Each structure stands twice: as C-alpha cells, then as structure tokens.
Amino acid sequence: MSLPEVGGAHYMGDIFNVIDYPFDLAIFHPPCTHTAVSGARHFAEKRMDGRLYAGMSFIMAIVRRSAHIPRVAIEQPVSILSTLWRKPDQIIQPWMYGHGETKATCLWLRGLPPLMPTNVVEGRESRIHRMPPSDDRADKRSETYSGIAAAMAQQWGDHPLEAAA
C-alpha cells in the first residue's frame, strides 16, 4: 500500500474500523484489481476462485456501511460495478483536470454534484494502458491524479451539507 503524497486527514487502515464514524463526506477508492474491465480476460478465472465475488462484496459492503454518510463518492475505473450494481453517475478523464492522459474513471455519487472539469488539456495519451510490467505497476495504474483529487477537495469539500440532504 502506498502512502498519500500530501498530509492531512487520510486514514490508511481497514475502512471497516472507522466507517461507522459520523463523517459528513467520504470519498472511497476501493481496490479494482478484481473488478476492472481492463482485466476482463481473467474474469472467468476470478469467478472460479472467488476473487471477482470478493472484490464486488467488498465494494457493496462499503455501500451498505456508508449509508449514514450524507455525501459519498465511490471511484473505480470502468468495472463490473456498472453491470452488477448500477451505472456510474459520472465518467471523468484525467485530461479534464490538467493531465494530458486518458483513463476513464467512474464515479458513483450520493449527495454530491457531478465533478466539473477544471483544466481541460490536449494530449490524450494512453500512458496507463501501455504501461509495461513492473513491480510497482499496480500502484502506478491505480494512482489518483492530483488534478482530480484537487477538484474533489475543492468542489465537494466546499459543497454545503444542506445541499446534500
């Protein structure tokens, strides 16, 4: 597990140890290793050994256990959540937030408005898709782009709680 790039309140443990706290905003980034369609060729094997079901069950446990939180975002790449749960509320790209790359990122939202683009740039490079094998490939592929994180903090952190109700 990698550490956050910036300081501040950022819990790095088992989510189920703190999820019952009365948070007013939660942005979840559950693991996508067994749910992302980029690994669809492995879905049959992951069904057989239970990894696909475990990945979905973990995310659905977050959905159920966060029901008391008025503002929630769940972030995943294009994944089987769209089929097994529901379609995302929004699909964003890094190039909409200052990064000249493509990586479709789905957002399932509750009590939050769609994220507005902050810095649309040219480029549209598919760096993530073409990343070669390496020991830290999974960490690099799952990295949250700083422009997207900043937009979430600015737009949703300032979003009035009353508007979320």
| pLDDT(1) > 50 | no
Q: Could you tell me which residues are beta bridge partners of residue 105?
A: 77, 92
Residue 155 has a pLDDT of 95
CA distances 124 to 59, 84, 102, 109, 119, Å, are 29, 30, 5, 25, 13
Binning pLDDT at 50, 70 and 90, where does residue 50 land?
confident
Q: Could you tell me which residues are beta bridge partners of residue 71?
A: 25
Cα separation, 114 vs 35, in Å, equals: 23
| pLDDT(123) > 90 | no
> Amino acid identity of 117?
P
> Amino acid identity of 126?
S
Query: What is the rounded average pLDDT for all residues in the chain?
Result: 83
Write down the pTM of the prediction.
Answer: 0.83
